[in-house]
Amino acid sequence: MPISKLLLDIGRDLFQLFYPNTCISCAKVLDRDLVFCPSCQFSLPFTGFEENIKSNDFATRLMNRIDFEGCMALFWYVKASRVQKMVHKLKYKDRPDIAKTLGKLAGDLWNNHLTGIDYLVPIPLHKERQKWRGYNQSDEFAKGISEITNIPVNNDIIFRDIHTSTQTNKNTAQRMQNVLEIFSVKSSKSLENKHLLLLDDVVTSGATFDAAANTILDNHKNVKISCGAIAIADHWA
Ligand SMILES: [Zn+2]
């Protein structure tokens, strides 16, 4: 073995010793450059929504609320599941890398439907919450998609101007009221004929997408909207 190759291998082994490549779901150390271990890959509930972006459970939730082109989500979000643990880590355990890795996965899986998209638009957090968390998980998800597709991330379209309390313990009606007018447009720069992919972590009732999309549609002419999420709750009422 040439010495340069040997040094490269040793370097990689040392790197892996300190920064091992682990399954982002269960943290098992992986010996190859994978996202999930075989067990998680096999058991994670992928939705397959990208096979039918206009007619799936996500699209149904937004039907008659947003004039959308298509809706996609990577996983079903089931309580106490691997997906829930993964989402918890990327939101509350200082793991923006997980959101970004899932973005790359979405970039690969959704590739066929991303060709007409002009901007990836992360659902913004209120600036106080983002400061507290240190990052916006939806922005990290968008960055991962962008890395694969080269579609730019655009954070200059809307902002969140009301600091809503956490949604976890609210029912659908309360959530809708809670998010009804929480976004405002950030810039009046024309988005004419642009197609935006709004991105969020978990979709439950769809109220957040509804509010964000309609803020954009109310303030811009001839703009197309699609929606993408890391996970979709299996029930939300
Ligand atoms: Zn795993």
**In this predicted model, what pLDDT tens digit does every residue of 172-228 receive, in sequence order?**
666 555 556 789 999 888 999 999 999 999 999 999 999 999 999 999 999 999 999
> Residue 163 C-alpha to ligand 1 middle, in angstroms?
35
Instruction: Give the pLDDT of residue 1.
Output: 61
Residue 206 burial by Cβ neighbours in a 10 Å radius (0-12, 13-18, 19+): buried
Q: Are 178 and 207 in contact (CB under 8 A)?
A: yes
Q: Kindly state the percentage of the chain with pLDDT values over 70.
A: 84
48 phi-psi bin (left φ>0, alpha ψ -120 to 50, beta other): left
> Residue 22 C-alpha to ligand 1 middle, in angstroms?
8
**What is the reported pTM?**
0.85
> Residue 83 C-alpha to ligand 1 middle, in angstroms?
11
Indicate the residue type of 215: T
Q: Which of 41, 66, 106 is nearest to 218 (CA)?
A: 66
> Residue 89 C-alpha to ligand 1 middle, in angstroms?
14
> Residue 139 C-alpha to ligand 1 middle, in angstroms?
24
**Res. 168 pLDDT band, cuts 50 70 90:** low
CATH entry, 44-233, from 1.10.150, 1.10.10, 1.25.40, 3.40.50: 3.40.50
Does 177 or 113 have the greater pLDDT score? 113
Q: How many other CB atoms sit within 10 Å of the CB of residue 36?
A: 21
Task: Say which residue the tokens 């996983």 belong to.
Answer: 75
Enumerate the domain spans of the chain: 1-43, 44-233
- Tens-place pLDDT, residues 16-67: 556 678 888 888 998 877 888 889 888 899 999 999 999 999 999 999 899 9
Q: How many other CB atoms sit within 10 Å of the CB of residue 32?
A: 5
> Residue 183 C-alpha to ligand 1 middle, in angstroms?
36
